[in-house]
Structure 1
């Protein structure tokens, strides 16, 4: 990882086109990190960066370990399925990623609302992610 690929630099790239950090920006950040580093490293870089940022702004409760990792894994699945160097193209191919409720296809709401899932990675308890199934699928 070069210094220009650090979490602050990735955030700066995402925020050049955004007024605030919302869901679309989280997907963009995940896409950039996966595109540059691969999914396993992206999980670490983005999760640690979001956790540090939440602490810095005095809102550590905003960080959710399971939600952060699940989104990065879902984005990573699509990045590897149909690579592109253009985020707009990526979104046009994978519009379901803009649905904030997408993770509820895989997790019960009570699971995601629980303290355990907030603090540490929790596997899906409603349905496995497509890349966890024996048959190929998509996160749609």
Structure 2
């Protein structure tokens, strides 16, 4: 069996055997693309690979835009719910998505929509996603994919396409916060989110600290002067949780922190709150909860505002 890296490289290169690319292989390709990049970029990568496989199989008409995008959305939601997992763990905990009859999608759409020519040609959102925020995303996504298609066609026609060399691939992008007191800031993030702290130098006063837990990292750097700490308006960090304990965390942080926005259920099904850390940076904390009816809806609140 190919490793994750080998599978993704073969998928990108179009060297996987089309006849062996079954539903489980589709599932794995989507999971790997989504694990490697933000949703929009991941789906662009997935589309290109699937279209390439369909062409190699001599059946370009088999590519289905709605199934590709909607299925990727379901997998992405499941990934956020489960948190960091291996491929074996993820598929073992997602049997409903692995069902070859696409039951999870048919529950959203019904057979008539998925079988329509329009759904095969362009992404058709299910009725349950028809809110303003999703509509804006769909418009932006369609424009983005159109640009990708034009770019891919241009690259394929160019004489240098075969020998093109991609830039080095980033494996991690980490935020660096300038703080007044590294030790104090590190303690706050460690107590709130369970980060392990690796400070430098070994004894305080610390000039720097690397905070890490699982695949998440954050760097703290000491300001030369307190005036150098200048949080900009809006979000500085977006922290996504797993484990279903966001209510508990909000209750704890709300007692001692500066709450910017209380716990709310968002239109895209995440639950979020915003809080300022000790240096004034706005931190968004988010988690996908399957059961969140007890949490007020941000969309309903916005509609109720005069």
Q: TM-score range by the shorter chain?
A: 0.7 to 0.9
Deviation at 1:8, TM superposition (A): 6.1
Stretch moving more, 76-85 or 59-68: 76-85
TM-score, normalised by the number of residues in structure 2 = 0.37
Contact 1:66 1:121 in 2 (8 A): yes
- Please identify runs of 4+ aligned residues in structure 1 that moved more than 4 A: 133-136
- Structure 1 residues 134 and 27: alpha-carbon distance in aligned structure 2, compared to 1, 3 A threshold: closer
Taking the aligned partners of 2:11 and 2:108, their CA distance within structure 1 comes to 27
* Match in the other structure for 2:49: 49
Bigger strand share? 2
Question: 1:51, 1:63 within 8 Å by CA — same for their partners in 2?
Answer: yes
Q: Give 1:88 deviation, angstroms.
A: 0.9
If you compute each CA radius of gyration, which structure gives the higher value, 1 or 2? Answer: 2
Which position in structure 2 is the counterpart of 1:90?
90
State TM-score, norm by structure 1.
Answer: 0.76
Matched, 1:74 2:227: no
> Cα deviation per residue 1:54-81 (whole Å; 9 max; x = unaligned)?
1233201110000011111111111122
User: Which sits farther off after the overlay, 91-100 or 31-40?
Assistant: 91-100
Contact 2:96–2:103 (Cα < 8 Å) also in 1: no
**Pairwise CA RMSD of aligned residues?**
3.1
Deviation of residue 133 (structure 1)? Answer: 5.0
The corresponding residue for 1:137 is: 290
Give ranges in structure 2 of 5+ residues lacking alignment. Answer: 131-266, 272-288, 292-306
* Counterpart selection for 2:126 from 113, 116, 124: 124
Aligned length: 129
CA contact (8 A) 2:24 2:98 kept: yes
Inter-CA distance 10–80: structure 2 relative to 1 (3 Å threshold): farther
* SS of match in other structure, 2:20: coil
From the two aligned structures, give the one with the greater helix fraction: 1
